[in-house]
Amino acid sequence: MNKNILMSMISLLAVVITGCSDQFLQDKKSYDKYEETVFANEQQTGWYIDRLYADFFAGHKSPTQTLVGSYLDEKTKMTEEIGGTISDFINPSTNVQDASKSSAYFGTVLGASAANVPYTRIRYCNLLLEKTDSVGKNLTLAFRKKAKGQVYFLRALQYFDLWRTYGGVPIVTKVQTASEVDETIKLPRATSSEMVAQIVKDLDSAAVLLPNTNTGDVKWSSSTDYGRFTSGAALAVKSRVLLTYASPLFNKDWETSNQRWTDALNAGLAAEAKLTLDGYGLYGTTAKDWSEMFYVKDNTFCKEAIIVRLLSSANTLAINNGWEKTIRVSSQGGSGGISAPKEMIDLFPMANGLRPTVTNGYDDTKFFLNRDPRFYRTFAFSGCKWGTKANANATIWLYRYLKTADGKTVLYPDATANKVGSPAVVRKMSNPAADNTAFEYSGTDIFEYRYAELLLNIAECYAATNDITKCVEYLGKVRARVGIASANSYGIGTLADKYAAIAACLYERQVELAYEGKRFWDIQRWMLYNDDATAGNNTCAKLGLTPINGTCRTGGYWQGKNVTSSDPIPAATKAAIAIDPDASDFATQLTALSNLFTTYLVRSTGTTGVDFAMDNILKTPVKIEWKQNYYLFGLNDKTLSTNPWLVQTKGWKDIYGTLGTYDYQQ
């Protein structure tokens, strides 16, 4: 069975705790004086590759984090998924153009000490690729294939993240010796087309060299190598890369030419065929399966998982998942939870797949009624059953009440108050059997690339090439899996043209892939923050979407109807509520909650002075404003000062204050 996961915890721990590998890592610190004989030994070469996995992915501890090597959630916090953080790039009072304010992800110039930055990681990849066929002649052919395949894959991932952060960067495929006089190493910024060609070339090489399944002369074992890249994963990432290249950010001809969309479509179909043959596919046939796949197959093969980050529940010498602790509310022993913005609560379809509008029966006050099955697995709200290891039937309550009419004294129904800024919190990818005394040691794996995403990639390519029938077919596969009925094309309805079809694909991605670190990249490649005629950006208007600029992520509370000094809801009334989407009487439970809400609570509107926008400064709402030049960052001042031959990006200033000329759409 083909298992496609990022990193085996066993392999990582071998690097960390064995004596020989400790010495190996000590030697690795001086990469300019590297002992090449390490590549003559399969064990040491294996340690070297394991360390590369660690350099790339050790920081990946939450599904909302992005960018290999650094893994931060700052990009997710610039989307509608999480409110309350006003970075310079969405703050209307800032206008960032100076190189000193741009992203430092590029890293610094190579020095005496090897910092874990992109070009250091690329250097280590290049070193193995150069040495395994020369110094490593005694390595078996099968071992060399797997070693090189993994490293081609890693190098492709790094260049992909550099490209979608900055546009073109210097493409280095050989080990260089630092020199102030050697002009041959002063490589210019590549064009986007050159970047994509190199990334695709590496992924194609990886696809040829890596195992297809656990059979044949080149294979992964079923245990100790569990977690490494496979051929099918390389093809899936190729689909993601070419989809990005076909999108408007990099493709001025996205409307008039189908070539890039067709290339991306063919890559997606090839990946689908390969992965399906190797035993991958959508996991399960119900919304319950959809929810459980994130934790029931922990550290073991899940057919949906194309790329997964394996994590451990050990409390020493291990890397844990920080998500469980983050999303659990205070009353359960968590960090307080992630308040769901109203914009996310109001996003998910109705149970029949229709958009949540008043015409379709949506009431944003009783937002929990009659929603897409995924809604109840993505969010938790008052009365929801959200179990732990200690109490499988634990419920949470997210409301408050006022002791004084002016709202200056606010009380909560329990001593460990859930002081969240929304009537719902994120619960997706939570394990209902997690240990509430040790949430921080969660070992739940992170699905970096799911089979569902691949299907959505294919659907989008069909939409862009105006094959609406096939687009709806692929969207339907994703919806059917969670139990949405097939009527009216799974609620998608009749799509008028390719623009409506593309919008439908982006909408489905918002729902299916919510809180999985994908939304920012969709916003970026489609330039959905704004329309800018001077930059030729009109995608929001073309797709019929409201730009994100000018919006504010908002909260709101459930609040007691009357001023009181005690809990307004009787204990017995609350005890009778336990909203469980797996229960046979789920609809009846929701009705009971609705009645409770009507009797005891109101949804605050801000008139009481206790409600305010998530995005605010001193309770004054701040509306998002993203500038056109932010879609691709300029090179940081440190990068430009140490590499003075590099040209700055358009819309950004160089270290002398001159606007750049590099065009990432070339």
The Cα 181–Cα 92 span in angstroms is 44
- Predicted local confidence at residue 212, as pLDDT: 75
- Predicted local confidence at residue 617, as pLDDT: 83
Diameter of the chain measured on Cα atoms: 81
Report helix, strand or coil for 337: coil
Q: Are 283 and 303 in contact (CB under 8 A)?
A: yes
Q: Containing H/E element for 24? A: helix 19-28
- Choose from 32-36, 143-147, 466-470, 613-617 the range with maximum mean pLDDT: 466-470
Pairing of the two strands 558-560 and 399-402: parallel
- Predicted local confidence at residue 463, as pLDDT: 98
Report helix, strand or coil for 331: helix
The DSSP output letter for 482 is T
Give Cα 634 to chain centroid, integer Å. Answer: 23
- Residue 598 dihedral angles phi and psi, to the nearest 5°: -60, -35
The Cα 4–Cα 16 span in angstroms is 23
pLDDT band at 6 (very low <50, low <70, confident <90, very high): very low
In the predicted model, is pLDDT for residue 22 greater than 60? no
- Predicted local confidence at residue 34, as pLDDT: 56
Percentage of the chain exceeding pLDDT 70: 91
Token pair belonging to 190: 């590549």
What is this structure's pTM?
A: 0.93
- Predicted local confidence at residue 18, as pLDDT: 24
The Cα 6–Cα 229 span in angstroms is 6
- Predicted local confidence at residue 213, as pLDDT: 64
pLDDT in tens, 299-311: 888 999 999 999 9
- Residue 532 dihedral angles phi and psi, to the nearest 5°: -140, 105
The Cα 431–Cα 296 span in angstroms is 8
Q: Are 453 and 518 in contact (CB under 8 A)?
A: yes
- Predicted local confidence at residue 214, as pLDDT: 53
pLDDT in tens, 241-263: 999 999 999 999 999 999 999 99
Of 33-42, 117-126, 464-473, least confident by mean pLDDT is 33-42
Q: Are 340 and 382 in contact (CB under 8 A)?
A: no
pLDDT in tens, 320-368: 999 999 999 999 999 999 999 999 999 999 999 999 999 999 999 999 9
Report helix, strand or coil for 380: strand
In the predicted model, is pLDDT for residue 3 greater than 50? no
The Cα 190–Cα 512 span in angstroms is 34
pLDDT in tens, 262-293: 999 999 999 999 999 999 999 999 999 999 99
- Predicted local confidence at residue 4, as pLDDT: 33
Report helix, strand or coil for 447: strand
Token pair belonging to 87: 């970075």
Q: Give me the DSSP letters along 161-227.
A: HHHHHHS------S-----SS-GGG-PPPPPHHHHHHHHHHHHHHHHHHS-SSS-SSS---SSTTTT
Pairing of the two strands 601-603 and 558-560: antiparallel
- Predicted local confidence at residue 7, as pLDDT: 32
Average pLDDT of span 481-501? 98
Token pair belonging to 319: 């890397």
pLDDT, averaged across the chain: 90
pLDDT band at 64 (very low <50, low <70, confident <90, very high): very high
pLDDT in tens, 26-55: 334 444 445 688 898 999 999 999 999 999
Bridge partner list, 186: none
